Amino acid sequence: MRRRTLSRLTLGAASAVSLALLAGLAPASAQPSGGHGAAPALKRVGYFTQWGVYGRNFQVKDLDTSGTAAKLSHVNYAFGNVSADGKCFTGNVPGEADAWADYVRPLDAAGSVDGVADTTDQPLAGNFNQLKELKAKHPGLKVLISLGGWSWSTHFSDAARTPASRKALVSSCIDLYIRGNLPADGVRGGAGAAAGLFDGIDLDWEWPGSAGDTDTVFRPEDKQNFTALVREFRTQLDAYGRSSKKRKHYELTAFVPTAPAKIDAGFEVPKIMRDLDFVNLQGYDFHGSWESTTAQQSALFAKGDFSVDQTVNDWLRRGAPARKLVVGMPFYGQGWTGVSGGGDGLGQPAAGPAPATWAAGYEDYEALKKLAGSGTYTVHRDRPGGHAWLFDGTTLWTYDDPQVLRAKSLYVRAKGLGGAMFWSLDGDTPDGELITAVDRGLGRR
């Protein structure tokens, strides 16, 4: 689960880009150019969580039946882990790796994308095989392995410290995921078992040069080491792509933070952007139930506070090309209970995280939609700010609904950005209400 704490910073006035601009045409930078008459397609990147197949019972097949897969350009599989000795690895290690979900678990015909049950002797099953079937049904779809995340960034700093350790890490990740050489688990796995599945690697180191989860190591030199690690991934991926029969370009992306202090502590922006195909911007968790006062978690604009517009502009000012910035959008909400002070509940003291289905203070959009329609909660909107929240007098949830996401999608077009990213796909409704709103807002692909 992605949770990250942000320190409060004074960020100045909201961008001069107003909501009125969003109703107009995108600027020239987002329009078709050159002799081909077509602009680069805006990306739609969705994270599929390894663990979602359990409690939520959200399967790869659901991406197809909901219509979501047809609206995505990329699926990022979350997550792959890095071991204490600095290598990509998998296995059945509680809390560290889950080969059963990844490639061992058999799916019956009803649970399979292609409607055919897994056999007992096939080397690839589980989510990996279903993602292969999904790609076969949607040939334009790319699948990336996302490495790290909030809980599994523990050993990145150690693994990135020296040229030798960086080479070893990258080589192990390419061997495991790009070459598809999975550890044998009974009849599953083996050399090349997952070959052809992954089209690239997404780096989700949270965070180089600054604090992340409680056991995650960080150092001042992470900033330069991250640049060198990105370069090493780009070099080895390109070399492997040239050596393959299809001379394939393997994509390299990263998930990056919103807080200016974290950007400056960990990222040499112009250097890394040369080697990355694009970055997924943190567009959520600006505030959350780890704080004692309710606040917005994902506003488009906000004076003197974190916001999507602030994040975009901070990356642009540091040298990132607009076309390589993909805006993160939440398919969940952050919530508090014991909210006092009256009014609409926002900016008020709270007793603690709101009770929720899977984790206190964190609730999927699908469940929040039901609350919004229950008659108990009132939907509040800050239209100039571009965010919404639910409040029943005691419990408050800050979240994005289709109306908010449409505004954000228009913003992406108006700013000439690279597209939209979603954390995470299992939070949407069974008919893909949120992905549909973004897809329509982004327009032609």
Are 104 and 213 in contact, with CB atoms under 8 Å apart? Answer: no
Q: Is 43 helix (H, G, I), strand (E, B) or coil?
A: strand
Residue 261: what are its φ and ψ, rounded to 5°?
-65, -35
Residue 206 annotated among the catalytic residues of the structure: yes
Q: Please compute the mean of the pLDDT values over residues 381-398 and round it to a whole number.
A: 98
Q: Which residue has the tokens 């290598």?
A: 87
Q: Cis before residue 79, ω within 30 degrees of 0?
A: yes
What is the overall mean pLDDT for the chain? 92
pLDDT-wise least confident of 69-83, 129-143, 236-250: 236-250
pLDDT, tens digit, 9 for 90 and up, residues 350-366 = 999 999 999 999 999 99
Strand pairing class (332-337; 362-364): antiparallel
**Separation CA 432–CA 383 (nearest Å):** 24
170's enclosing H/E stretch is: helix 163-173
**Of 182, 173, 141, whose CA–CA distance to 155 is shortest?**
173
Residue ranges of domains in the chain, CATH in brackets: 21-331+401-442 (3.20.20.80)
Residue 23: what are its φ and ψ, rounded to 5°?
-80, -10
Number of H helices, E strands in the chain: 13, 19
Q: Is 128 helix (H, G, I), strand (E, B) or coil?
A: helix
What is the pLDDT, as a whole number, of residue 445? 57
pLDDT, tens digit, 9 for 90 and up, residues 111-137 = 999 999 999 999 999 999 999 999 999
Q: Biggest alpha carbon distance in the chain?
A: 65
223's enclosing H/E stretch is: helix 222-243
Q: Is 81 helix (H, G, I), strand (E, B) or coil?
A: strand
Q: Please compute the mean of the pLDDT values over residues 261-270 and round it to a whole number.
A: 98
**Of 196, 319, 318, whose CA–CA distance to 264 is shortest?**
318
- Cβ neighbour number for residue 370 with a 10 Å cutoff: 11
pTM: 0.93
**Separation CA 191–CA 48 (nearest Å):** 25
What is the pLDDT, as a whole number, of residue 22? 56
**Separation CA 202–CA 409 (nearest Å):** 22
pLDDT, tens digit, 9 for 90 and up, residues 157-177 = 999 999 999 999 999 999 999
| Residue of 133, 206, 232, 363 marked catalytic | 206
Q: DSSP assignment, residue 288? A: -
